[in-house]
Structure formats: structure tokens, C-alpha cells
Amino acid sequence: GRYRSCLRCRRCRPEPCQQGATLTYDTLRFEYEDFPETKEPVWILGRKYSVFTEKEEILLDVTSRLWFTYRKNFPAIGGTGPTSDTGWGCMLRCGQMIFAQALVCRHLGRDWRWMKGKRQMDNYFNVLNAFIDKKDSYYSIHQIAQMGVGEGKSIGQWYGPNTVAQVLKKLATFDTWSSLAVHIAMDNTVVMEEIRRLCQSNLACAGAAACPAAEPDVLYNGYPEDAGVRDRFSLWKPLVLLIPLRLGLTEINEAYIETLKHCFMMPQSLGVIGGKPNSAHYFIGYVGEELIYLDPHTTQPAVEPNDSGCLPDESFHCQHPPCRMSIAELDPSIAVGFFCNTEEDFNDWCQQIKKLSLVRGALPMFELVERQPSHFSNPDILNLTPDSSDADRLERFFDSEDEDFEILSL
């Protein structure tokens, strides 16, 4: 749905410029295709639309998603590192987008919409500030790049879906304002018991008598702490579930396509991060046989608050028809995301996944089980103490490069 052509030699990427021009935001002409006029429904993160009667609603929904792209001239990562992520940060930006959608659902709700020039609530700017390109933002490019060093990725190195998921999980532990339970399901298996244990970790602290008194309006890193404090008394932490998958060898196995489509139809959907080899995209829906995505491959200047202290936010929203690509072109290495705000949301998600196994022509992308399979917890293999969490065991046992996922059998 989108192509770029060089303004100097007029040839379209990926062919190189014939006159040696550097293809940057300033030298590219962007052309966008509108949605095709089709009877096929358009699905955007669990919402169903008709192109004929709801085109404005579709575009408003897409525009309301937080759009993170390459940036330039931000403070040097680590003090002496890169000041731009052009050419290497596309998967990091996609990780930011899928996690930003989780925070939007958490603090603003799925029905929230952004409109140009409309005054937004404080929570919107709190979410946006969590991703701004500076070292003390929870999920900034600085934090992701530096935390990735612990995952074996040097600053400036390209990430895969699994790596960025692992990094975001670690960064979320510092985000006490959102108080999220982040689970990464490895080995193509989602263990329900493990997730419930993670999300109900506040249970022991549920009684007011057993917990210290919460002080409202405490600030952490500039964000209001009171919501996070209240959540420590709740029985369920909002869940961000990320499932890294490999759906084929060099191209996606078409047997998984129907299942992938159904993931975008679920109200808990956060979308998918993946793309083409070395070119990451954030997929937010589909129409017919095409995926709808936000593309981070545009370099914009870093944004800072203006003289009045307000943060200019228009560049964080894609205000043109979104990009589209054939599902068959999708690289098989992806990560699927879901958000369950309550235990009821999670139970409903489990039921939907179970029903997917009954859909004709839809091969399951992952397995949903009640308890951890016995071969996951062999102490001779894992050599971990019994009180280690299942999540830690899985993360350490399957701590591998993105291309090393076990191939799903047919």
C-alpha cells in the first residue's frame, strides 16, 4: 500500500538510487494507497469495520495508535553512543508500538481516540512520555538498546522479535505506574497456570491489614504512582502476553494464515511485530489477504517539550492511510501480543484460543495448556531451584537467538 521513490533519480526502492542519492526522509516521495473497496471486513486490533460505511472510523482508529519511527538528533545513547537509530532501530520501534498499545489499553482504554488539535488527558501524555527518546523514559530507545546488551545485542545491532520482547519484559518491572504482568510464552506453549500465578502475585498483599498504607500522589520518574500503588491491592495484574513464534523456514507456512488472521479479530489483540528480513513492521490488522501495518522506516527529528512545557505529539500519529502487504510476504519470525486487563479477559481469551482449534483450515500457531509440560521442568536439564518461577525457567532454558525457534510441526 506504500512505496517510496527517490526524488533525484525517480526510481523506487529497493533499487538503489542511480545517481548516488542517500534515501532519507527529505529525498523520498511517499505515495499511499487508500483501502480497497471490498466487501471483506477490515479488522483493526479486535475491531471490525466496513470500508463502505466506516472508512473514517478505520482511519481514526489507525491514527490513534502511537506511531514510533526512526528519530535523529536525540541525546547520545549511553552518553557517547548513537544519536539516531536510522538503519538499525526498526524492530525496537515496533516493540515500542506494541507495548504502547498495551499502555493505551491499560490507562486510556481501547475506545480512546486521538484527534489533531484536541486537548488530551494527562494519562495520554504520561503514556507518550514513557517512550520519548531520552535515557530516563521507561521504554525509550535508550533503555531498550542498553538493556539489550544483557541479551547479547550490542548498541546499534538489529533485534529480532524475541529479543525485543525479552527486553521489554525486563523494562516493565520498573514501570510501577502501569504495574503490568508481562509474560513471554516460549517453545510455542502458553501455560495458563503459570500466567495466573504471575497475574495473581498481589494476592498475598490484598488485605489492607497485611500491606503498608499507600500514599497517594507519589511521583516516580515524573509519573503519578498512586494507580500503581492501588494495583498492589488488586487480585489481578493486567497481563501483557507476548508469544514469539516461527511459522516456517524462510517464508510463512500458509497453514497458519487463518489462525494469524483470527488473532487480529480478538478484542485482546495487541497486534504482531515482525515484517520482512531486516525490515520490521507493526501489524495492527488485516483486510482480505493483506496485512495492515505501521511502518517505522521514516526518520523524523527527535521531539522535546516546547517553551510552554507541552510535548508536540503530531509526529507520533500516522495521519495517512496505513501500509498494506500480502500476508504471504510476511517473514516467519514474529511475536504476537495480547492484553488482558482482568482475569475475565484472560479466561475469555483462553476460550477463544480453544475454539480456534475447531476452525477448518486453521493450524494452531501455539499450544494452550493448563499446566507446564513435564519436559519443561526437568531439574537435570534446567538445574534450577524448585522455587524459581516458571517464567524464569523458560526464559533461561530457551534463551536463544531469534532464528533458533523450534519449527512448528504440521
Residue 122 burial (C-beta neighbours within 10 Å; 0-12, 13-18, 19+): exposed
How many Å is the maximal CA-CA distance in the chain?
Answer: 73
Residue in 61, 85, 90, 262 annotated catalytic: 90
Q: Where are the alpha helices (DSSP H) in 44-88?
A: 55-64
318 is catalytic: no
Q: Which residues of 184-203 are buried (b: 16+ CB within 10 A; e: fewer)?
A: bbbbbbbbbebbbbbbbebe
- Tracing cell 526522509 back to the chain, one arrives at 25
List C-alpha distances in Å: 203 to 229, 233, 372. Answer: 14, 8, 21
Q: What angle do CA 125, 130, 134 make, to 5 degrees?
A: 115
CA 87 to chain centre: 19
Q: Which residues of 131-148 are buried (b: 16+ CB within 10 A; e: fewer)?
A: bbbeeebbbbbbbbbbbb
Rounded to a whole number of angstroms, the distance between the first and last alpha carbons of the chain is 32
317 is catalytic: no
- Tracing cell 487480585 back to the chain, one arrives at 235
Nearest one of 216, 240, 263 to 103, comparing CA atoms: 240
Residue in 183, 297, 323, 390 annotated catalytic: 297
Amino acid present at 334: I
For the chain, how big is the Rg over CA atoms in Å? 21
Query: What is the chain's length?
Result: 410
Residue in 295, 331, 345, 390 annotated catalytic: 295
Separation CA 8–CA 345 (nearest Å): 52
313 is catalytic: no
Active site residues: 90, 295, 297
